[in-house]
Amino acid sequence: MNENMYGRMRLGLVHFKAFPGIEQGVGPIVETLERICEDDFWTAVEIGWMKDFRVRNTAAELLRHSHLAVAYATQPKVLTTKLNLNSLDQKERKSAIDGVQAAVEEAFQLGAEVVRLIAGKDPGDEKREEAKKLLADSLSQIMDFGAELGRMNFTLKIFDRDIDKKNLIGHFQDALDVAEMLAPSYENFGLLADLSHFPLLDEKAEEAIPLIGKHLRSAHLGNCVFRDRHHPAYGDIQPRFGVPGGEIDLPEVIDYFRVLRDNGFFDQGERPIVSAEVRPVLAGEKSEVIIANTKRVIRDAWALA
């Protein structure tokens, strides 16, 4: 593409993936966040759980100084504490709703403009339709709670069903079904498609993106490994682009940008956040080098798309 990529999207980095060890809401959160804030390649950042209110206060101040767009991802908290927003057990689902609502409060404290939501485990073919309805109800309660706090957007991230997370959402048709349940009442709701999950789902972006097109609000860029179960990055791990045995490198990112462009993704009223979700996995890999790898792939992919 000949256009400047910053004019079409806000480029983000998923903080808790780029710097492993902070996924459980503790660790060098502020110190690593500072590195992203200091790097003007990024115009957005996706943050997660911060247990200590003092850390949140410091991070919030840092983010205000940075001029970064901020997304808050609930998956570190949801996956770590095994919250399930589509649980068939009423008590378990209520606990999950409460937990995610607390995360929404954190997102407001941190100045986020959007909250990333995820579904729970897929219950299987017989219970899937019921689970989708329960998920839609849970999401509506969470978004109603958010509306009481102020203006906030929400996106539901599409995961894998069969390889690693085994998530209800899941295949793109199921994501569309939930979006259609919510869209009439919640214009601040949309979907997030992750490049690293297409191989895990055995779906193709050129078919899936048009299917959910009118609901697609954000995108992630990442890689995955699934052909070798003994690979250290097997599953939904998000290794670096070009990792041996992986599925995603420069050609796939080029194709993804083309599909997004051709389906009007970059023509939204507000420039969408497109975030890289990558992490050091193999022995000897460093966050700083993996991040540099990612920036090179993004720049080249955009130039060649």
pLDDT tens digits for 17-56? Answer: 999 999 999 999 999 999 999 999 999 999 999 999 999 9
Whether residue 98 has pLDDT greater than 80: yes
Number of residues written out for the chain: 305
What tokens were used for 290?
A: 């993996």
Of 206, 212, 210, 243, residue with least CA distance to 228: 243
Question: What pLDDT shows up at residue 78?
Answer: 97
Rounded CA-CA distance 182/70 in Å is 24
Rounded CA-CA distance 126/200 in Å is 22
Q: Which domains does the chain have, with CATH numbers?
A: 5-304 (3.20.20.150)
Encode the chain in three state secondary structure. CCCCHHHCCEEEEEHHHHCCCCCCCCCCHHHHHHHHHCCCCCCEEEECCCCCHHHHHHHHHHHHHHCCEEEEECHHHHHHHCCCCCCCCHHHHHHHHHHHHHHHHHHHHCCCCEEEECCCECCCCCCHHHHHHHHHHHHHHHHHHHHHHCCCEEEEECCCCCCCCCECCCCHHHHHHHHHHHCCCCCCEEEEEEHHHHHHHCCCHHHHHHHHHHHEEEEEECCCECCCCCCCCEECCCCCCCCCCCCCCHHHHHHHHHHHHHCCHHHCCCCCEEEECCCCCCCCCCHHHHHHHHHHHHHHHHHHC
Question: What pLDDT shows up at residue 119?
Answer: 98
Whether residue 1 has pLDDT greater than 90: no
Structure-model confidence comparison of residues 207 and 269, the more confident one = 207
Question: What pLDDT shows up at residue 2?
Answer: 74
Task: Please classify residue 72 by burial: count the beta carbons closer than 10 Å to its beta carbon, then call 0-12 exposed, 13-18 middle and 19+ buried.
Answer: buried
pLDDT tens digits for 249-290? Answer: 999 999 999 999 999 999 998 999 999 999 999 999 999 999
**For the chain, what is the mean pLDDT?**
97
Question: What pLDDT shows up at residue 269?
Answer: 87
pLDDT tens digits for 148-197? Answer: 999 999 999 999 999 999 999 999 999 999 999 999 899 999 999 999 99
Structure-model confidence comparison of residues 146 and 184, the more confident one = 146
With contact defined as beta carbons under 8 Å apart, do 31 and 13 qualify?
no
Question: What pLDDT shows up at residue 253?
Answer: 98
